[in-house]
Amino acid sequence: MEKTKVLIGLASCGIAAGANKVYDKLKALQQADKLNIELKKTGCIGMCYREPLVEIIDETGSYLYGEVNEEKAVEIFDKHLKQNEPVKDYVVKSDFIKTKDDSFWDGQVKIALRNCGVIDPENIIEYEQQGGYKALAKILKEKISQEDVIQTVLDSGIRGRGGGGFPTGLKWRFAYKYKSEQKYVICNADEGDPGAFMDRSLLEGDPHAVLEGLAIGGYAIGASEGVIYCRAEYPLAIKRLNIAIEQARSKGYLGNNIMGVEGFNFDLYVKEGAGAFVCGEETALIASIEGERGMPRKRPPFPAEAGLWAKPTNNNNVETYANIPYIFLNGPESYAKYGTEKSKGTKVFALTGKINHGGSVEVPMGVSIRDIIFKLGGGISDGKKFKAVQLGGPSGGCIPEHLADTIVDYDSVTATGAIMGSGGMVVMDETTCMVDIARFFLDFTVKESCGKCTFCRMGTKRMLEILERITEGDGKDGDIEKLQELAYQIKDSSLCGLGQTAPNPVLTTIKYFRHEYEAHITDKKCPAKNCKKLLTYTVDPEKCTGCTVCAKNCPTNAIDGDRKEIHNIRQDACIQCGMCYSKCKFDAILLS
């Protein structure tokens, strides 16, 4: 009989929720009882909203426990591990127990995330046991030509998972065709939108898959060196990457004459970036690796011809490389059977915002946004109504509820005005002000602009100033048209993708929620009751008990009324701080 396995999710999300304490508690219990179990760390399991997560795999099957604290860990240890009695109340996933969380897993297909939450990311043997490095070995031992490797990637239909969705095989072919004694492959792990959570989870949970994908890419284009560009804010990802690199070298998967193949030399290193959003653009990323300020370069020449150190270079993101070993191990048709005609395979999304089931999911291309939000995501939190979803990160667009049946593929998403990006999906409910959300995202891109292009540097700043005026009640007639004019000039005149996509949140919110802009400007009202400067606070006489709490907390003494008498808010003295609304225990403060 195999030893019972106990896996604790120890990615950044699990650690932040207290999983380290759970691990330490279980380890202490195991040592005290001398229980013959295999206790191990793993990466992100995906169900982040239930962290900390503990999975027990015994002879009867698998049981995933959610929201485990030290007290629950003791109970699970005593009952399940010692007495073989699963604690059903804490189970969030099992083949034998139905739970309210089952819908989170329905429809998911794990390819990029196939090993996350399954293996110990710091143990290369576990990766090998899951078929790790067999794809690379197959290519080298069967002496598959570079052209055939690239053709296999083309046949799979995989497109870059980090931004515009350019066909990966085509990108590799361009870099292969340029002749040079030195070539490079780069892995972009620095994307700054919510989808970067997915990249980080992959690096923390299955770093060897990324390394193997990079090695295959290096072989395909004729590169001998690779760079993983990772933001320094991801210390756990960097730690596990460096461990994986050393392990791969010791096993002969990196270095000179890999796997005994004379002449195939490939090695790589991690370059820590400063977390600049603009370095998601490949030429800015390349400049940063070279020690220059992260700013985009004019193209042509494209990186495939003259990239890192002016040599032919291929750049893909984390998720793209993680898919590559699967494609070669299982055949391109096994990947291409998922998705749509022009968007093959699966896509990882990071669900966040006003949603019940926040976390990381992987679904086939072609699934509707509605199904992701309401089936896997469990719907909108607090029983609120779904209003919109921001797809594609800060430079993405806001897709309204009436377009929620849009399928997730590159062309369909682009048609809405949003972008696929690296997979960030921020869900918004009826309390979200779409003018303010446009201001929020534009504020981010203004701060992240490298400043090279005048339209991006100055145009986005002017747009932000207009949005700030509108949300503070100082909007003017013509502001909407001025925002649109600036937006199109910025898109047409910016050098890189940051500037070209920065206006997307503004353009999509104007397109789908123009009435909210008009209400802010004309009526000086925020329909979502979110913009404080546009709110009027009044007292509901039927609910007011005269407790005086609101008056005591008002910073301007704008509330009149004696104890046990109905209070009144003097509008000439009210500064719309919202203190009375937040302090009232009887819901007696009305917003309008």
What are the backbone dihedrals phi and psi of residue 313, each rounded to the nearest 5 degrees, phi first? -140, 140
pLDDT of residue 192: 55
- Secondary structure of residue 235 in the 3-state scheme: helix
pLDDT of residue 424: 87
Q: Residues with Cβ < 8 Å from 145, sequence gap 6 or more?
A: none
Q: Which CATH architecture has domain 434-523?
A: Up-down Bundle (1.20)
Residue 139 has pLDDT above 60, yes or no: yes
Options 3.40.50.880, 3.40.50.11540, 3.30.360.10, 3.40.350.10; CATH for 124-336 is: 3.40.50.11540
User: Confidence class of residue 280 from pLDDT cuts 50, 70 and 90?
Assistant: confident
* CATH class of the domain whose range is 4-99: alpha beta
CA 398 to chain CA mean position, Å: 16
H/E segment holding residue 309: none
Q: For 325-346, what is each residue's pLDDT tens digit?
A: 999 999 999 999 999 999 999 9
Q: What is the mean pLDDT of residues 292-300?
A: 93
Q: For 401-446, what is each residue's pLDDT tens digit?
A: 999 999 999 999 999 999 988 788 999 999 999 999 999 999 999 9
Residue 201 has pLDDT above 70, yes or no: yes
Q: What is the rounded CA–CA span in Å between residue 134 and residue 420?
A: 31
Q: What is the mean pLDDT of residues 510-518?
A: 98
Q: DSSP secondary structure string, 345-388?
A: SEEEEEEEESBSS-EEEEEETT-BHHHIIIIIS-SBGGGPPEEE
What kind of fold does domain 346-429 have according to CATH? Answer: Ubiquitin-like (UB roll) (3.10.20)
Residue 157 has pLDDT above 90, yes or no: yes
At which residue do the structure tokens 């193209």 appear?
A: 299
Q: What is the mean pLDDT of residues 25-42?
A: 95
- Parts of the chain belonging to CATH 3.30.70.20: 535-591
To the question of domain 535-591 being in CATH 3.30.70.20, the answer is yes
- Parts of the chain belonging to CATH 3.40.50.11540: 124-336
pLDDT of residue 194: 47
Q: Which of 341, 359, 365 is nearest to 413 (CA)?
A: 365
Residue 516 has pLDDT above 90, yes or no: yes
Q: What is the mean pLDDT of residues 274-294?
A: 91
Q: Residues with Cβ < 8 Å from 171, sequence gap 6 or more?
A: 160, 304, 314, 316
The per-residue pLDDT of the chain, averaged, comes to 94
- Parts of the chain belonging to CATH 3.40.30.10: 4-99
H/E segment holding residue 64: strand 61-65
Pairing of strands 568-569, 537-539: unpaired
- Parts of the chain belonging to CATH 1.20.1440.230: 434-523
pLDDT of residue 193: 52
| pTM, full prediction | 0.93
